[in-house]
Amino acid sequence: MTTDNHKRQQDSQIDDQIADCHRMIEAQSDRLAAQVRAGVDPAATQTVLYCLKESLMAIMATKAALAVDLRASAMKSSIKLRTMSRTDK
Under 8 Å between Cβ of 49 and 28: yes
Which domains, and CATH codes, for the chain?
Answer: 3-88 (1.10.287)
What per-residue confidence (pLDDT) applies to 48? 97
Long-range CB pairs of 16-25 (<8 Å, 24+ gap) are 17/59, 18/56, 18/59, 18/60, 18/63, 21/52, 21/55, 21/56, 21/59, 22/56, 24/52, 25/49, 25/52, 25/53, 25/56
Assess whether pLDDT exceeds 60 at residue 89: no
The pLDDT tens digits for 8-64 are 888 899 999 999 999 999 999 999 999 999 999 999 999 999 999 999 999 999 999
